[in-house]
Amino acid sequence: MTEMVYGSVPVSSGDPVLPRWWRTVDRWTLSCVLALFGIGLLLGLAASPPLAERNGLAPFHYVQRQAFFGSVAIAVMFVTSMLSPTLVRRLAVLGFLAAFVAMLGLPFFGTDFGKGAVRWYSLGFGSFQPSEFLKPGFVVVAAWFMAASQQLGGPPGKSYSFGLTLIIVMLLAMQPDFGQAALILFGWGVMYFVAGAPLLLLIGVAGMVIFGGTVAYSNSEHFARRIDGFLSPELDPRTQLGYATNAIREGGFFGVGVGEGQVKWSLPDAHTDFIIAVAAEEYGLICVLAIIVLYMAIVLRSLMRLMKERDPFIRLAGCGLAAMVGVQAMINMGVAVRLLPAKGMTLPFVSYGGSSVIASGIAVGMLLALTRTRPQGEIGDILLRRGR
């Protein structure tokens, strides 16, 4: 009877968990994530020893920490990818609430580590950045609101999601962290567009963003300094952008050779925000293109699988998660080549950072869980049946 209504059933609910997971998960996306993590460790071997030397630590101190954080992230990703969409939603709501409360406490208990933005909690043995963990939870919660609004007699979920987005953006702007605020807005905009938002409304939101950027430029020295540096026709070669641009130019097509790069000795953030400059200098354009292709594959594969989904919550949440992973990568690489102002944003699975890597593992784990093949009819099957 189930097959008559929904079409063929690819898996049986009585199968063991691991075999069923392996048959239903998107193995191409999984492989791309593991490849990015491997590339991140390889680049960490080149980029982090100079920083460890300056801090009086063992040469591979940061590589070992990255391997540990990455192992935790991969484990979390695997476990999360085995969950049902209902469990993903429930855990995302709990995680979002915890991260939101942590963000509220940043003005009182947070620290800026001398970078001019209060984004972290210092834990002694490390740091914790709540906004990284807020992003995947926010996407799922906003998608839940929007999907609920499409039900008969449902709540005004789109309005709720917009109000929640404004609150989060304001909290991020207070840190200030305009890069994460822009990423949150973009992720919400993608989901709102997929949910059927009027084009005029999205244009209005874009206008609000421009107005907010103007206000921030006038009132935030931190924001204005970065915008001025981006718009300046002359690039100071002693700045991070100057070092990164020169490294990319020196790398050429095939790079200067493994371990031969010099930018890692000049850039304080060579292992985090500007890791792509190290890749371009030592391994050349070939390595950079490979990294871009891996991110494109993750996003496109996910969107292709989501096009076949009939559950609006899964479609919206999956699109939001895929868009945020892809756009974060685009922003990080765009900053390094001076296509975008400096934003202090990591490259998912490649840059060093415990909060960033683990949060990326959670986000991609949710994406893998939502894009798994399930015993349900595809949206194309439903349209064909209605046309008969």
The reported pLDDT for the residue numbered 382 is 47
The reported pLDDT for the residue numbered 292 is 95
Report d(CA 53, CA 87) in Å as an integer.
Answer: 44
The reported pLDDT for the residue numbered 376 is 57
Residue 340: name the closest of 251, 252, 273, 263 by CA: 273
Residue 103: name the closest of 89, 117, 120, 124 by CA: 120
pLDDT in tens, 275-290: 898 899 999 999 999 9
Residue at 163: amino acid letter: G
Residue 67: name the closest of 291, 301, 303, 354 by CA: 354
The reported pLDDT for the residue numbered 95 is 94
Beta strands in the chain (DSSP E): 121-122, 127-128
Note whether 266 and 243 are within 8 A (CB): yes
pLDDT in tens, 87-144: 999 999 999 999 999 999 988 888 887 676 788 888 877 788 899 999 999 999 999 9
The reported pLDDT for the residue numbered 239 is 73
pLDDT in tens, 51-91: 888 888 888 888 999 999 999 999 999 999 999 999 999 99
The reported pLDDT for the residue numbered 237 is 65
Q: What is the mean pLDDT of the chain?
A: 84
CA distances from 51 to 44, 45, 248 (A): 11, 11, 20
The reported pLDDT for the residue numbered 55 is 81
Question: pLDDT band for position 154 (50/70/90)?
Answer: confident
| Angle at CA of residue 126, ends 121 and 132, nearest 5° | 55
Report helix, strand or coil for 241: helix
Written as six digits, the tokens of 164 are 């929640």
Instruction: Please state the domain extents for the chain.
Output: 15-374
Report d(CA 66, CA 49) in Å as an integer.
Answer: 13
Written as six digits, the tokens of 291 are 């990294």
CA distances from 40 to 170, 184, 332, 343 (A): 32, 25, 14, 20
Written as six digits, the tokens of 311 are 């559950």
Report pTM: 0.87
Residues with Cβ < 8 Å from 260, sequence gap 6 or more? 282
Written as six digits, the tokens of 321 are 């998660």
Task: Look at phi and psi of residue 284 and say left if phi exceeds 0, alpha if psi is from -120 to 50, else beta.
Answer: left
Backbone angles phi, psi at 122, to 5 degrees: -85, 125
Note whether 163 and 132 are within 8 A (CB): no
Residue 351: name the closest of 31, 29, 128, 62 by CA: 62
Report d(CA 72, CA 78) in Å as an integer.
Answer: 10
Report d(CA 239, CA 352) in Å as an integer.
Answer: 21
pLDDT in tens, 159-203: 899 899 999 998 998 887 888 888 999 899 999 988 887 777 778
User: What percentage of the chain has pLDDT greater than the value 70?
Assistant: 89
- Cβ count within 10 A of residue 356: 23
